[in-house]
Structure 1
């Protein structure tokens, strides 16, 4: 899993909590006689699931997945994450129970509409935007570094290949000086040189691909 994969999962898990929070506010103020009970139950279930999923991702899963990729968010981005957690926690605590009193608990949150509209929504949007930008940059830097390291490895292998060719060439000369007794050795030296040439060609192709 790359950092790009993680950012995609984070956006998919956290992003919907913005709509979910607004939906919960609407459910608090809706007129049950007009909208009916069944649609409200479906909307409530979807919203609570989204809030729970987002909370789990932003408080735990995201940190664990990033750690598995040897990455830790910089202080500013971590501060934005914690701000999102703080804004999301009251809603998460309200939807945790399944006793039919979710709407009542949401209604009891002080300034719940203000919390969802002017706190959670902008904080979450800013965090996700910054997270995507940061992880995209880091992933690109890692890929560039990896390509550079691979090119360096190819260069080293090319140097080894040249040395092998030189050794094989010298061995062929020595085998020729020995005469008939060196024929077998000359065949081996020729095979080594041929293999070195093939390896050199392969390394050249790899280097060309990496530089493209």
Structure 2
């Protein structure tokens, strides 16, 4: 999995928690009971699931995926991740808690609208924007480095190919010098030289493709 893949997965897991939190604010202030209202119950379940998913990604999965890809968040971006966790924690605690209904527990949060609108939403949005920028840049740098390493490998292979062709050419000269006894060896040397030529052409084409 590339850093770009991790970036996409993280955005899809974390981003929806912003809408989910606002949905909870709306559900808290609606006048009709949630229980028995299919649309409200579905909205509540979807919102709580999205918040749980975002929490898991922020606290566990993102770090694990990045570590597996040999990447660590820069200090500033890690601080933003921790800020997201801090903002999301009150909601997550109420959703995962016990005693009463989910909405009853959420109703005990002071200034829920303030938390969701002016803290959670901007904090999450800033983190995702900066995460996308950082991982996109890191992936481009990795790809550029990989291309450079591949070009170097092709250059080394081209040098080997030239040496093989030179050896085959010298072998052909020696075979011709010793006459009939060297005919079989001359055929082999010619085949080796032809193979070296074809390999050289292939490597040249690969190098051209990498430079494009």
TM-score (norm 1): 0.96
Distance in 2 of aligned mates of 1:71 and 1:121? 26
Aligned pair count reads 212
Query: Mind listing any 5+ residue stretches in structure 2 that lack a counterpart?
Result: none
Aligned to 2:207: 207
Tell me the SS of whatever aligns to 1:32.
coil
CA spacing shift, 1:21–1:152, aligned 2, 3 Å: same
Q: Do residues 21 (structure 1) and 21 (structure 2) align?
A: yes
Aligned to 1:116: 116
Aligned to 1:66: 66
Q: Would the aligned equivalents of 2:35 and 2:41 in 1 still touch at CA under 8 Å?
A: no
Distance in 2 of aligned mates of 1:112 and 1:103? 12
Distance in 2 of aligned mates of 1:13 and 1:201? 47
Q: Deviations over 1:110-148 (max 9, x none)?
A: 221111111000000000000000000000000000000
Tell me the SS of whatever aligns to 1:71.
coil
Distance in 1 of aligned mates of 2:100 and 2:194? 78
Q: Deviations over 1:162-198 (max 9, x none)?
A: 0000010011111111111111111111111000000
Q: Do residues 142 (structure 1) and 142 (structure 2) align?
A: yes
Q: Deviations over 1:83-107 (max 9, x none)?
A: 0000001111111147651111111
Aligned to 2:37: 37
Query: In the TM superposition, what is the alpha-carbon distance from 1:39 to its structure 2 partner?
Result: 2.1
Aligned to 1:82: 82
Distance in 2 of aligned mates of 1:54 and 1:33? 27
Q: Would the aligned equivalents of 2:3 and 2:135 in 1 still touch at CA under 8 Å?
A: yes
Q: Deviations over 1:55-99 (max 9, x none)?
A: 011111111111111000000000000000000011111111476
Distance in 2 of aligned mates of 1:134 and 1:45? 33
Query: In the TM superposition, what is the alpha-carbon distance from 1:5 to its structure 2 partner?
Result: 0.6
| C-alpha RMSD of the superposition | 1.6
Query: In the TM superposition, what is the alpha-carbon distance from 1:25 to its structure 2 partner?
Result: 1.0
CA spacing shift, 1:130–1:20, aligned 2, 3 Å: same
Distance in 1 of aligned mates of 2:68 and 2:99? 37
TM-score (norm 2): 0.96
Query: In the TM superposition, what is the alpha-carbon distance from 1:156 to its structure 2 partner?
Result: 0.4
Tell me the SS of whatever aligns to 1:139.
helix
